[in-house]
Structure 1
Amino acid sequence: MQDVEQQLKQYFGYDTFLPGQREVIEQVLSGRDAFALMPTGAGKSLIYQFSGLLLPGITIVISPLIALMQDQVDRLQANGIAATFINSSLSSGERQQRERAIREGRVKLVYVAPERLLTQTFLSFLDEIQEYVGLALLAIDEAHCVSEWGHDFRPEYRQLGRLRVRYPHVPAMALTATATERVRDDILAQLRLNDPYIHVASFNRPNLYYEVRQKHQGSYRELLQLLREQNDSPIIIYCQSRKSVDTLTDDLCRDGIRALPYHAGLSAEERTQNQDSFIHDNVSVLVATIAFGMGIAKPDVRAVIHYDMPKSLEGYYQESGRAGRDSQPAQCILFFQYGDRVKFEFIVAQKEDATEQLKARQQIQHVVNYSEGIGCRRRALLAYFGETLEGENCGNCDNCIRPMIFEDRTIDAQKFLSCVSRTNQRFGMKYIIDILRGANTQKIRQLGHDQLTTYGIGKDVSAEEWGRLCRALLQQGLLSESQDGYPVLKLNRLSMEILRRQREVEVAAPIERPKQDSLSPQAISLLPEEQGLFQHLRELRKQIADENGVPPYVIFPDKSLQLMARQRPQNETQFAAIPGVGSRKLEAFYYPFTYAIRDYCENHNMGLGLDVSFSEATQKAQGESTSRRKSSQSTHHETLDLYNQGMSVEEIARTRNLSQSTIIRHLATMIENGEVIDITPLLQPGHREDIANVFQQVGMDALKPAKELLGDNYSYEELHIVRAMLRNS
């Protein structure tokens, strides 16, 4: 792995690996199979992408969803890495064109779904690749789909073990973010990995804040307040049903929140449009059932809010883990009400298989225990996956941040347990509460329970409070609950101690949860004027992303823009030092971003290149900077030479394997540098004057205001060219 850090920076823009990445990559490059269990945001994708980049031949990535393939291919191509996908979204001509490029060895990574991969036609295609180009690596992403015990089981994944028989000498790698020990063992067995190197990282994601809020009539107002505080940060809200999704989306839109729905009841076209709008930051909130999310790698989601109870703790970890994939602070908030359990119990009761019923009830109970827990949320989540959190306090969940206050509820507990005893331990929580509160129901009258001494003795306590007490008793082991069919309350040894007044009962008092003022992405502390520059750069990023037809985070993540706002780079060495800036992005985006920084700083009286580390980097990397500058100048001149030879922008982009917007930026840069260029082919008749007039009205700092005034008949490419001419005049 000689010069591996240099290649990491060149292709991905990072100076160092995240924990565990290098070790797995080294094993794969040596030809060994590997299994990597790493939480979301820990860099699983880079492991097989970087390995595939270095290995001779073509890497096949098995991925479950089209959206996931598209996202990763967009990111790889933005970094100058030859990657493609083969799936049902392609026309016959597009598929054949891509297969031809693969056969000719012009592609390094190929994404494909397991359903297509296992067809005889595609297996024959793989045989051709192996013979003429060579298979470098078989990477199975989202490997938990292999296991029937996982939360996203896909039957096709269980057939992938056939690849190890067909290609025994090609290293294979399985990767997942979520797997219990049972699921891990199943993955290794089903995929037939040969003496794999196993890397199991911590499930802990310190940047995520966990909170559970009791759901009540005012919860919608709480949710609305949360969203209004977030300044259009991307947020996912999960609901149980399609109806809940539609109702909540309508309510949010009515109250001024830019929200869209996502569920299986929408057409495929609607789902795709809504998903794309969210990914491209055209809306800030997506309200969804769990049908959404598995193929979404949007890194800058600042919160995942479960407005209804999730079905399992494993599912909750996976869904909430879609927040903060960029390692910046994010929140995971669950609105919990015990009534959601009743809904799930009804659904579970419809299952014919008794084992499936038991498994589903156990999963629900895990969620209830987590939601009602008075201990560290993070500790509870990690314990579910067999991991122990060091220390008593994680410092980043509601139970650890707020001081816990307990109240003596011994007398109420005795009343409750006495009622369970007098009804012969044959009923569930709701019925016991009805008796205590003196409900006049037909069932109570028929069974004569209105004659019990405990009938009506708890009228002064709300049903919600009785429910909270019951769940606390269950959680502390002071009461048991049968799982044979309908959950029935049972007394145990500790229950009897309470009834005999040998044990006291303390229950956590309901108090206000700590309010975090914002789900702001500011992991990096910015001054007010730097925050303004950060927003200015986000607008530029959105504009460039729209021009290139990719999500904004493909251009740069928020962290890169935050560092640009704080450090304000103005030469190539400074810009290249920003995390996320590799060689391709240095070439494509150095000029637009440094121009935007300089113009903003001049207008707001801010200094440039302030970070002292930049001067040190400049001295250390002078030779490298000179080399990059020459390379940058060379690539711009190459574009100009082709243009002067009569080639169109489209032809140059195709010849140089660059986007048309990048070619336009090359030409705009050369115009600003004083080159005389015939711009007639680049502008529609009369557009030059119109654009210049609008620039006089709104300024040239950002193109979006001018574009909005001019309308769809004017392109961003034309705005770039006219702005360059005006700056040079």
Structure 2
Amino acid sequence: MKKVNNYSLNELLKKIFGFDSFKGNQEAIINNLLQGRDTFVIMPTGGGKSMCYQLPALISPSTAIIISPLIALMKNQVDAIRNFGAEQGIAHFLNSSLSKAEIAEVRKDLKNGKTKLLYVAPESLTKDENVQFLQEIDISFFAIDEAHCISEWGHDFRPEYRRLRPIIEAIGKKVPIIALTATATPKVQQDIQKNLNMQDASLFISSFNRPNLYYEVRPKGEEPIKDIIKYIKSQPGKSGIVYCLSRKKVEELAETLQVNGIKALPYHAGLDSATRVTNQDKFLMEEIDVIVATIAFGMGIDKPDVRYVIHHDMPKSLEGYYQETGRSGRDDGEGNCIAFYSYDDIQKLEKFNKNKSVAEQEIASQLLLETVAYAESSVCRRKQLLHYFGEIYPEDNCGSCDNCLHPKTKFEGKDAVELVLETVLALKQLFKAKHVIGVITGKPSANNKSFKHNQLEVFGKGSEYDEKYWNAVIRQMLIERLLAKDIENYGLLKVTPEGHKFLKKPYSIMLTRDHDYENADEEDFFAGGAKTSTADKNLFTMLKDLRKEISRKENLPPFVIFQDPSLEDMAIQYPINFEELKNITGVGAGKAQKYGKPFLDLIKTYVEENEIIRPMDMVVKSVVNKSGLKVYIIQNIDRKISLEDIAFAKNMSISELLTEVERIVSAGTKLDLNYYVNEYVDPYHQEEIYDYFREAESDSIDKALEELGEDEFNEEEIRLMRIKFMSDLGN
């Protein structure tokens, strides 16, 4: 064991930081660095990464240069280190937030040998004057924190990180480098070592398993916000983070939580620095319970008792997901990780990727595929996450994820596994899962023809099952180590030695089917209850009967009065006044005024007669005038602006715009779309569709298309006419 000034490392740890013992690999890492060797550390959040460079820096004779991507994080760490030492100058940071006078002060302390740790942003390190200055001082080592930022395969790639090696060489000190990250797949790991030219570095990988975390993926219905509020209210006084992908959604959600009595604040890169700092501090000081954030929040946030992390949207990569969920339960206490998943969100992310270069698109889509695989799979979530980071989890049931607590039925997968292995070998191990599945299912894609893969014996051999089924098989084969993905050419499937053994002597292997979230009427497959309705069935039937009665009197189809989701919500929330009725799905002020009274009277009587305790805490209050989009659409339709122009201005597709217009009309607002309908829909078609909806039992577009004929009518014109019909007669 290395001694410094006659003290052992353990004594120094106690003397400086007050800890009795090191965690995990910390001591071995510090010894390795003090012996002058390059060191690569992969240590999950909460494992004590910063200690690996802070202690050696404080006990070394010269200055350690710590390269870190976040200004807020630097300040926190510098403040923390100054608390351990008597000297203010013991730690400094150098970044764009400093004035000229402050920079001069930092340089003076460095020249005088007072400073043991200098935190530098990669952008500051690239400036010529800083490179020249650092050539003049003694450096003990370079520490590169958040090293995954180097890799384009990492979840937070920063181009300036790829320029670090040449800059370190320009500074010209022969000192060791320590690179640290909380998440790195084998691919990212290789990328970091190559880029930093430290292939010979000593590698320290801690287990990625966080046994105290519970993982769950829920289907994302129309209103995940209800589920989120319900969950937060079931965790009174506990701290939590809710992640969203867009800044707009962060603002909306934080506001909605506030009006529903939850102490929450937003955090994203678009807020000014002072607001971000204030909101973060209020969360750390427990003045608020929930922070609603984009991924800008959390890197280096040292709050040990975050009890839940909710993903309103699935992240763009599994590394991002692991990193964000890792902010829960850092004190080894309870940590619940709940993600809401809908394939629609994935398709939106794919659209965003279209603007990237071809290489970036390829990487982004591979990372997205891994996220989909994780969300849809019925296999133990912990096993999948650890497999993604190259670690084997030996248990069959972790006992703390939705898939293990509610296991899906298994099926014998021997024949399917055999077919996949034979196909991968027939394709010379040169293709990704999508192409392999195309060959198995016999998809007549051009790709297959150009490679003559349609002539292979395996072509179409698995056509009785769909792509989803084969995806599930391949995924589980990867986890069972029968297949592997080539690290160099990310995604190419290779047969492992274990896979070759299987082919020689096939054995029984039980597999599970994926979740079908898009048709999520299946059984209750997660701990919190799936999309299975909690509506009061008796009341729902009574409300439908009342609607039928009114529809006969008014000579209108029932759906014009209130649609089924609105009645279902009434049978969950039991509204008894107009204010409460307006909070029901699809009910606006106009609808409430026009048709609300008989429904409210019925519900009120029903509640009194059956002595029902109403779940009023679960009525999600809307933010007043929250929807600028709604107002914008109404105003522009009043001005007779074409729908194409409105959609373009709001960066929406026509289909997305029509969905918004449908919501506005079904909630009771009257819109005059004649100017657009008359230009777009043939007058004879208008008449036929209008007459169809007069007689129809349901407002289903699919049924209308079937009835009217898909050869002659298209979906868009039927949707437009349904909007006109609902607006004319219902509002």
CA distance in 2, matches of 1:507, 1:190: 38
Per the TM alignment, residue 194 of structure 1 is displaced from its structure 2 partner at its CA by 7.4
Q: Structure 1 residue 144 and structure 2 residue 157: aligned?
A: no
Q: When the two structures are superposed, what TM-score results if normalisation uses the length of structure 1?
A: 0.55
User: 215, 218, 227: which is aligned to 1:222?
Assistant: 227
Per the TM alignment, residue 506 of structure 1 is displaced from its structure 2 partner at its CA by 6.5
CA 1:380–1:514: 2 relative to 1, 3 Å: same
- SS of 1:129 mapped into structure 2: coil
Per the TM alignment, residue 255 of structure 1 is displaced from its structure 2 partner at its CA by 0.7
Check whether the contact 1:204–1:378 (CA below 8 A) recurs between aligned residues.
yes
Per the TM alignment, residue 311 of structure 1 is displaced from its structure 2 partner at its CA by 1.1
- Structure 1, 290-299 or 197-206: larger mean CA deviation: 290-299
Aligned residue number for residue 244 of structure 1: 249
User: 394, 399, 406: which is aligned to 2:398?
Assistant: 394
CA offsets, 1:308-348, max 9 Å, x none? 12111122112222223333331211111222122223223
Aligned residue number for residue 313 of structure 1: 318
User: 366, 369, 372: which is aligned to 2:370?
Assistant: 366
Check whether the contact 2:472–2:514 (CA below 8 A) recurs between aligned residues.
no
- SS of 2:328 mapped into structure 1: coil
Aligned residue number for residue 444 of structure 1: none
Check whether the contact 1:313–1:367 (CA below 8 A) recurs between aligned residues.
yes
User: 322, 329, 333: which is aligned to 2:334?
Assistant: 329
- 1:209 partner amino acid: Y
- SS of 1:362 mapped into structure 2: helix
CA distance in 2, matches of 1:63, 1:388: 31
CA distance in 1, matches of 2:63, 2:391: 36
User: 457, 464, 475: which is aligned to 2:472?
Assistant: 475
- SS of 2:136 mapped into structure 1: helix
Is there any run of 5+ residues in structure 2 with no aligned partner, and where? Answer: 413-437, 446-464, 476-509, 516-521, 530-731
Per the TM alignment, residue 273 of structure 1 is displaced from its structure 2 partner at its CA by 2.9
Aligned residue number for residue 527 of structure 2: 514
Check whether the contact 2:131–2:171 (CA below 8 A) recurs between aligned residues.
no
User: 270, 274, 278: which is aligned to 1:269?
Assistant: 274
Check whether the contact 2:410–2:512 (CA below 8 A) recurs between aligned residues.
no
CA 1:329–1:310: 2 relative to 1, 3 Å: same
Check whether the contact 2:379–2:512 (CA below 8 A) recurs between aligned residues.
no
CA distance in 1, matches of 2:154, 2:512: 38
CA offsets, 1:506-539, max 9 Å, x none? 77653153259xxxxxxxxxxxxxxxxxxxxxxx
CA distance in 1, matches of 2:410, 2:442: 30
Aligned residue number for residue 80 of structure 1: 85
- SS of 2:137 mapped into structure 1: helix
CA 1:83–1:231: 2 relative to 1, 3 Å: farther
CA distance in 1, matches of 2:199, 2:406: 48
Q: When the two structures are superposed, what TM-score results if normalisation uses the length of structure 2?
A: 0.55
**Aligned residue runs from structure 1 range 17-416, under 5 A:** 17-80=22-85, 82-130=90-138, 135-162=139-166, 163-164=168-169, 166-193=171-198, 195-217=200-222, 219-348=224-353, 350-351=354-355, 353-405=357-409
Per the TM alignment, residue 389 of structure 1 is displaced from its structure 2 partner at its CA by 0.9
CA distance in 1, matches of 2:171, 2:95: 22
CA offsets, 1:444-489, max 9 Å, x none? xxxxxxxxxxxxxxxxxxxxxxxx99845642469xxxxxxxxxxx
CA 1:377–1:115: 2 relative to 1, 3 Å: same
- 2:51 partner amino acid: L
Is there any run of 5+ residues in structure 1 with no aligned partner, and where? Answer: 409-419, 428-467, 479-502, 517-729
CA distance in 2, matches of 1:187, 1:279: 32
Per the TM alignment, residue 204 of structure 1 is displaced from its structure 2 partner at its CA by 1.7
Per the TM alignment, residue 111 of structure 1 is displaced from its structure 2 partner at its CA by 0.9
Check whether the contact 2:473–2:511 (CA below 8 A) recurs between aligned residues.
no
| Structure with greater contact order relative to length (CA < 8 Å, sep ≥ 6) | 1
CA 1:98–1:243: 2 relative to 1, 3 Å: same
Percent identity of equivalent pairs: 46
CA offsets, 1:599-634, max 9 Å, x none? xxxxxxxxxxxxxxxxxxxxxxxxxxxxxxxxxxxx
CA 1:394–1:211: 2 relative to 1, 3 Å: same
CA offsets, 1:542-584, max 9 Å, x none? xxxxxxxxxxxxxxxxxxxxxxxxxxxxxxxxxxxxxxxxxxx
CA 1:233–1:103: 2 relative to 1, 3 Å: farther
- Structure 1, 102-111 or 162-171: larger mean CA deviation: 162-171
Per the TM alignment, residue 62 of structure 1 is displaced from its structure 2 partner at its CA by 0.7
CA distance in 1, matches of 2:259, 2:468: 36
- 1:381 partner amino acid: L
Check whether the contact 1:24–1:199 (CA below 8 A) recurs between aligned residues.
yes
CA 1:382–1:236: 2 relative to 1, 3 Å: same
- 2:81 partner amino acid: L
- SS of 1:192 mapped into structure 2: coil
Per the TM alignment, residue 272 of structure 1 is displaced from its structure 2 partner at its CA by 3.2
Per the TM alignment, residue 278 of structure 1 is displaced from its structure 2 partner at its CA by 2.4
CA distance in 2, matches of 1:42, 1:393: 24
- Structure 1, 372-381 or 192-201: larger mean CA deviation: 192-201
CA distance in 2, matches of 1:424, 1:27: 54
- 2:384 partner amino acid: A
Check whether the contact 1:215–1:337 (CA below 8 A) recurs between aligned residues.
yes
CA distance in 1, matches of 2:360, 2:157: 14
CA distance in 1, matches of 2:442, 2:202: 56
Q: Structure 1 residue 5 and structure 2 residue 10: aligned?
A: yes
Per the TM alignment, residue 253 of structure 1 is displaced from its structure 2 partner at its CA by 0.3
CA offsets, 1:291-315, max 9 Å, x none? 3333434333222210112111122
Could you say what the CA RMSD is over the residues aligned between the two structures, in angstroms?
A: 3.1
Check whether the contact 1:140–1:173 (CA below 8 A) recurs between aligned residues.
yes
- 1:511 partner amino acid: D
- SS of 1:59 mapped into structure 2: strand
- 2:472 partner amino acid: Q
CA distance in 1, matches of 2:442, 2:27: 62
CA offsets, 1:229-286, max 9 Å, x none? 3333331111122221121111100011111112233334333332333233332211
- SS of 2:305 mapped into structure 1: coil
Check whether the contact 1:238–1:305 (CA below 8 A) recurs between aligned residues.
yes
CA distance in 1, matches of 2:62, 2:513: 65
- SS of 1:36 mapped into structure 2: strand
- SS of 1:116 mapped into structure 2: helix
CA 1:302–1:108: 2 relative to 1, 3 Å: same
- SS of 2:276 mapped into structure 1: helix
Check whether the contact 1:323–1:331 (CA below 8 A) recurs between aligned residues.
yes
Aligned residue number for residue 710 of structure 1: none
CA distance in 2, matches of 1:254, 1:55: 53
CA 1:44–1:120: 2 relative to 1, 3 Å: same
**Aligned residue runs from structure 1 range 324-723, under 5 A:** 324-348=329-353, 350-351=354-355, 353-405=357-409, 471=468, 474-476=471-473, 509-511=522-524, 513-515=526-528
- SS of 1:395 mapped into structure 2: coil
CA 1:27–1:424: 2 relative to 1, 3 Å: closer
